[in-house]
Amino acid sequence: MPNKDAPLRAGLIVFLAYVIWGLMPFYWKAMKSVDASVILGHRAVWSVVFTMLLLLAKGKLRETFAKVKSEPRTAALLFASSITIAANWFLYIYAVNHGHIMQTSLGYFINPLVSVAFGVIFFKERLRRAQTAAIALAACGVAAEVIALGELPVMSLGIAGTFGLYGVFKKQIKTEATQGLFVETFFLLVPALAWLYTCQKTGVSHFPYSASLNLLLIGTGVMTSVPLILFAWGAQRIRLSTLGLIQYTSPILTLLIAVFAYGEPFTGVKYVSFGLIWAAIALYTAEALIVSRASA
């Protein structure tokens, strides 16, 4: 007999994953004395260590290597996804530690709509009218930012674009979350170690740091892996429309942190740009709910 509480539990687990992601600026800010590229190197190295330990505990490490060796296309896609997620991580860490937390929030608000656009470009998916209108509204929101700043919001677009591309690659990969993350970070291991060595030699990095900072750097592997694993487990067990609503938990928390914890200004122009993007999200989400209920 099916467990009626299972979808609720899965939804709460996905919600927890997005809460962790939303609160992540506090974690990166605690390491603001460390160069963003050095944090990225540690994040890759310790993610390999953590996911490898998980796979060893499950007895799936050998199976993971065998799968990659026997499926060249999967290996190529995982390599491509490793590059895009590394770029996303770097932009996010750099933005947070250089006082641009609000730009990260804007990027993740835009991201679902970027993913819809990528679906059209890469998978020939057809947009419904409301989806087209939502993307147009979001584009107007970005345009408002461009007019206000006098330049493109590079951080926001970079974060949304790299994560959107990551989704394009992941959509084509059929691997369990821990295995996929292990392989992605394994591809980054040698470049990450080489970069950390170079940074150490040139004085950009001064590892080991204080005991607390060392623990934070080692903990990047856990902070990277745990929410992704929670998300992968829960997302398979809830409706897509529910997932669509929950995913805005992260950028909402990040925006609140930017304004109330770190005092980033939320000016009149921000009300316009964010307002247009929130309107796009509301339209997109409402339309998705209506379609989902009609299908049911």
pLDDT-derived band at 261 (thresholds 50, 70, 90) equals very high
Exposure of 73 by Cβ count < 10 A (0-12 exposed, 13-18 middle, 19+ buried)? Answer: exposed
* 14 occurs within a structural domain: yes
- What whole-number distance in Å separates Cα of residue 176 and Cα of residue 229? 9
The tens digit of pLDDT for each residue in 234-249 reads 876 776 656 767 888 8
More confident residue, 176 or 216: 216
* 123 occurs within a structural domain: yes
More confident residue, 197 or 126: 197
The set of residues, in sequence order, having a beta carbon less than 8 Å from that of 242 and lying 6+ positions away, is: 7, 11
* 177 occurs within a structural domain: yes
pLDDT-derived band at 1 (thresholds 50, 70, 90) equals very low
* 1 occurs within a structural domain: no
- What whole-number distance in Å separates Cα of residue 79 and Cα of residue 73? 10
The tens digit of pLDDT for each residue in 11-36 reads 889 899 999 999 999 999 999 999 99
More confident residue, 294 or 72: 72
The whole model's pTM is what? 0.86
* 117 occurs within a structural domain: yes
pLDDT of the residue at 145: 79
- What whole-number distance in Å separates Cα of residue 152 and Cα of residue 238? 36
Residue pair 127/120 in contact by the 8 Å Cβ criterion? yes
Q: Tell me which residue range forms the domain holding 257.
A: 6-295
* 205 occurs within a structural domain: yes
* 157 occurs within a structural domain: yes
The tens digit of pLDDT for each residue in 180-218 reads 899 999 999 999 999 999 999 999 998 889 999 999 999
Q: How many domains does the chain have?
A: 1
pLDDT of the residue at 197: 96
Mean pLDDT within 7-13:
83
pLDDT-derived band at 101 (thresholds 50, 70, 90) equals very high
Residue pair 272/144 in contact by the 8 Å Cβ criterion? yes
* 284 occurs within a structural domain: yes
- What whole-number distance in Å separates Cα of residue 119 and Cα of residue 114? 9
